[in-house]
Structure 1
Amino acid sequence: MKKIITFILILMLAPVCYSYSLNGFTEQFARKFKTCEPYYEEVSFNANGRVFHDKKQITGWFGDYCGYKQTVRTSGVTLYAACAFTRSQVNTLYNALLIQPKVFGVDNKTQDIWDSYVLNPQNCKLSNKNLFKESTKLDKKYIPRF
């Protein structure tokens, strides 16, 4: 009986474990973002001994803009982004989701492109804006990147 339960758990968890690509985004997220279809995902991860809780939400089309929200929490600090992307920007960001680095977390062009859009005040409103800017200067490895 224990073997059967273990086998079922492995089958259930296997798709979750392998659904993340090397650029840090899930395949499901990329598919939904391509058409700006409403979607929500939440993941927790440990980076250098610090636990991060990351929530991403595609809220759908609002006129000519695709709504996107992200909340990242760690050790009492919450970073929040609320974005509105044009169709052209959605296409650019979707194409960035298709780029795969050779090694997870190293030379991640996808992350660089997403950062440039999320950190642009014309696209997104950020909580703790100064923390976003300062954190990348001070201790890049501990702050999750969008």
Structure 2
Amino acid sequence: PYPAFNRTEIPQQHRLPDAADLRRMCIITKNDLNRIYENLDHRQRSKDAIQQEIARKKEIAERSAQVTKHWTNTIAGARERKLEMRKIREQEEEDRKKLLDIEEEKLAAERRREHIEKAKQLKYYETDRVRTFHSALLHTEVLKERDLQIEMKKR
């Protein structure tokens, strides 16, 4: 099966170095080398197969989770429904609080307006014109009262 070669015709890659120590060398046949490579490849292939199996199971689990995500009769579905109901309740509570805040703001504005109106009225009563008018009004009431008292005494 192998062509006959003269020792001088052996290609450079198949020749041993001239100073080679044959006692320290191990010569392996092609079949043995292929078996070693196959064994190494088998280990790598088994690692790859394990990785592929893990990835396949993960993908199946993800697809299953996607399919069952919207089912209401599962634990995850019940949890999701509870979370959704909680979000709705919180949103309603937030809306109610906003309405209450708006109402309180309106009441505070009304009270503020009333206080301002009262302060304006008090300031107006403190002007000289109004004070003079009130003084004259009081004086007339006193005079009327005095006239009534004199009238009562005469009787």
TM-score range, shorter chain: under 0.3
Q: Choose 1 or 2 for highest CA Rg.
A: 2
Larger RCO (CA under 8 A, 6+ residues apart): 1
Q: TM-score, normalised by structure 1?
A: 0.18
Question: Which has the larger strand fraction?
Answer: 1
TM-score where L is the length of structure 2: 0.18
